[in-house]
Structure 1
Amino acid sequence: MTEQEANLLHQQKYYLAQINIALMKAPLDNPIMAEFADALDKINGVAEASPGFVWRLKTSSGNATDIRAYPEPKILANISVWRSVEQLKVYVYKSLHSDFFVRRRKWFEKYQGEHFAMWWIRSEHLPTIEEGKAKLEYLTLHGDSPECFTFAKPYPPPTKD
């Protein structure tokens, strides 16, 4: 973590973590996936420049497509941290990201199960793939709760330590 990332993480007591997973129709280097793959750097740049953005999981490639969270190699996982639900929602639905989000069926199969979850983290904590997977599983078993939730029923950050 860079010093700038560390400083950002300590400006609030809690931040919002999110994980989303998607099942690609083909490997990332397949021509079917070209438009999506070619746009990754631009979409990630939009995220990083968005109000409320704090951090995102990435490898030296600059994105998270190299990370294999599941045995199925066509599942992509993305984790990021935001200052608020509202700011994440603006990025997802009102930025360049939304242009790709509405066309996601062009590149991704409909995922059977929970594919998106949000949860509150202490500001000094960076979420892991394992933590994100556990939140998706929890959401599948229990639905929206203060433990983890979706845009349909967001919960506020904890008020007690």
Structure 2
Amino acid sequence: MGYELAQVNIGRMRGTTDSLVMKDFMDGLAEVNAAAEGADGFVWRLTDGVGDGATGLRFWGDEWLIVNMSVWTGPEALKAYVYGEVHRPYLRRRREWFEHLQEAVTALWWVPAGERPTVRDAEERLTLLREQGPTPEAFTLKAEYAEPA
């Protein structure tokens, strides 16, 4: 059967998606998402069917939280993309666009190959990580759990 690695990360925007504060972020979405889709180990990413991402979807019903979800062949592929030359500059600038949240904003979990997680699945996994810390059901790149046997 096999497994793939699902990831979610959220951000509380400092302005609306059409605001000046969010302009560079929004202008970079097409490039960043194209880099993800072209990366080794990329499987799938959530889109809202409107633009270059899922900026129209709400997380926990909060209009200021935007969500990014994707599925990868494993943690090494995800790390290579996250810290790669296209995404890394945006990662460095995240505080310009998003508030610093004390709680976890990223969660990873294994899904059966071919399964695509929903926003509700991601909300549950991030909640679990926030409440229990890293477990095989919800973990981070710094506290990874191996693919289920």
TM-score (norm 1): 0.88
Q: Does 2:38 align with 1:79?
A: no
Q: Does 2:19 align with 1:30?
A: yes
8 Å contact from structure 2 (residues 60, 123) kept in 1: no
In structure 1, C-alpha distance between the alignment counterparts of 2:61 and 2:21, rounded to whole Å: 22
Superposed CA offset, 1:16-53 (max 9, x none)? 00000000100110011100000101100000000000
Alignment coverage as a number of residue pairs: 148
SS in 2 for 1:54: strand
8 Å contact from structure 2 (residues 9, 69) kept in 1: yes
In structure 2, C-alpha distance between the alignment counterparts of 1:96 and 1:124, rounded to whole Å: 27
- For structure 2, the residue ranges without an aligned partner over 5 or more in a row are none
In structure 1, C-alpha distance between the alignment counterparts of 2:118 and 2:108, rounded to whole Å: 13
Letter in 1 for 2:78: L
Letter in 2 for 1:49: G
Q: Which runs of 4+ in 1 moved over 6 A?
A: none
In structure 1, C-alpha distance between the alignment counterparts of 2:143 and 2:24, rounded to whole Å: 32
8 Å contact from structure 2 (residues 12, 66) kept in 1: yes
Provide the alpha-carbon RMSD of the alignment.
1.1
Q: Does 2:99 align with 1:132?
A: no
In structure 1, C-alpha distance between the alignment counterparts of 2:85 and 2:43, rounded to whole Å: 17
TM-score (norm 2): 0.95
Q: Does 2:89 align with 1:111?
A: no
- Find the counterpart in structure 2 of residue 149 from structure 1: 139
Letter in 2 for 1:151: L
* CA deviation after TM superposition for structure 1 residue 72, in Å: 2.3
